[in-house]
Chain A
Amino acid sequence: MDRIPILKMGPFLLVTIQVDLYDRLALTLENDLISMVSKTGARGVLIDISAVSIVDSFMGRILGNIASMSRIMDAETVVVGMQPAVAITLVELGLTLQGVYTALDVEKGMELLQDKIGIFEDPEQEKEGPDDSDD
């Protein structure tokens, strides 16, 4: 059975969706991601949808679910690289992905996540940052 690979990058999980998802594949991804978050104690999830041309309400719901479930496990979710046509369509559809963070690309998404969970790469700022960032 097809599976979307999940990469672990430090405290984050990265998923790049390269194919048009049919329902079961999307549901499998939701399951896999959530169990990965719980197994690795990841603090953030990055979902790159730059190659996805269609996001309908079902896909939107899956993205929302992943974000809500991850949040319960103390991980933030960022959806990155949404195509303009997809964004316009989602708004028209009435789906604004409440509770999901968004960023232009993986790099900016990573910065956003670091910001959100308080991990700073800059050693000077680390002193000021909250200490509960990692264990």
Chain B
Amino acid sequence: MNTIAQLLQNNKKKILENWMQNQLSDTSLRDDLISNEELRRQSDELINGLSRATAGGNVDNIYAPEYEPVVEILSDISITRARQGFSPRETGMYVLSLKQAIITVLQDKYSEQPEVLYKELLTVNNLLDMLSMVTFDTYIKGREEVILRQTDEINEISTPVIRVWEGILALPIIGTLDSARTQIVMENLLQEIVNTGSSIAILDISGVPAVDSLVAQHLIKTVSATRLMGAECIISGIRAEIAQTIVHLGIDLSNIKTKASLASALQLAFSMRSVEVRKISKNTGFHIGR
């Protein structure tokens, strides 16, 4: 059995104590996010895993199967911390302070044999650096997952399909229209067309900050898909500057019904469905009101 493994096995308690001390003495420790018991449990688990992994003599390849439990524990901790809102520094400190703890024990034991001490220090350094890489990797992955989930949520929330009249749907688009967003807009719109049996859909782009050729292409795709389903699509909310860019970019929207405002689009939709909106003369209105 190699020195590191032996050291870990024989001094588990001591290392854990050192480590806990290091962690607790760090002023940035977020005891509001994690309890002492929880921290101790996690740390104990990791040292045990590490001691088992090194027992086979492998101290430089953390991708070997015997390291799987260690990497798993570490990833688990980093991902949980990323989600809980720990900073990267706090998450990184966790493993790096273990290095400090092991080194202290090493120093105590081999202070008389500088050669062995040097060699073992290097090994420990190497191994724990690699493990801290794992922490960062998974920490970032954890954060990315959070971002991805939020993106999905925002996309989901920001594309409501509203039934404004029998057979008429309206879909106000707010924010930039990229291809992922277009996909969701299309799916929601088409599904709602099926669900409500609507034959007219109004796509309002007043909330879209800019229309470039890519956005226009996405709009045209949505209109084409709506047509394939057998419904008609009106695009409304075309501001002056959007009309200008569309013409300057040479985008052809002549096959698509466009309107400046949602109100005029609704009016067009009404006339397409042969619906008339009339003002009721005030007297009669009063009468009914009474």
Contact = CB atoms under 8 A, between A and B. Distances in A.
Interface stretch (B16-24, B185-193, B243-251): B185-193
B64 interface: no
Interface residues of B, number: 18
Given A102-B230, A104-B230, A109-B230, A91 B225 contact: yes
Main SS class of interface, B: helix
Interface string B207-235: 00000000000000100111111110000
B229 A102 contact: yes
A87 B186 CA distance: 10
A80 B230 contact: yes
Contacts of B91: none
A87 B197 contact: no
A104 B227 CA distance: 10
Contacts of A80: 230
Interface string A88-108: 101110001100001111001
A108 B199 contact: yes
Contacts of B221: 91-92
A88 to B, nearest CB: 5
Interface residues of A, number: 20
Nearest to B192: A84
Interface in A65-96: 79-84, 86-88, 90-92, 96
Given A84-B229, A88-B190, A109-B230, A104 B224 contact: no
Contacts of A104: 193-194, 197, 199, 229-231
Nearest to A111: B199
Given A91-B221, A104-B199, A105-B197, A96 B230 contact: no
A96 B228 contact: yes
Interface in B168-212: 183, 186-187, 190-191, 193-194, 197, 199
B191 A84 contact: yes
Interface string A28-63: 000000000000000000000000000000000000
Please list the 10 inter-chain residue pairs (A to B) with the smallest Cβ-Cβ separation, ordered nearest first. A84-B190, A103-B230, A102-B230, A87-B228, A87-B225, A104-B230, A91-B225, A91-B224, A91-B221, A96-B224
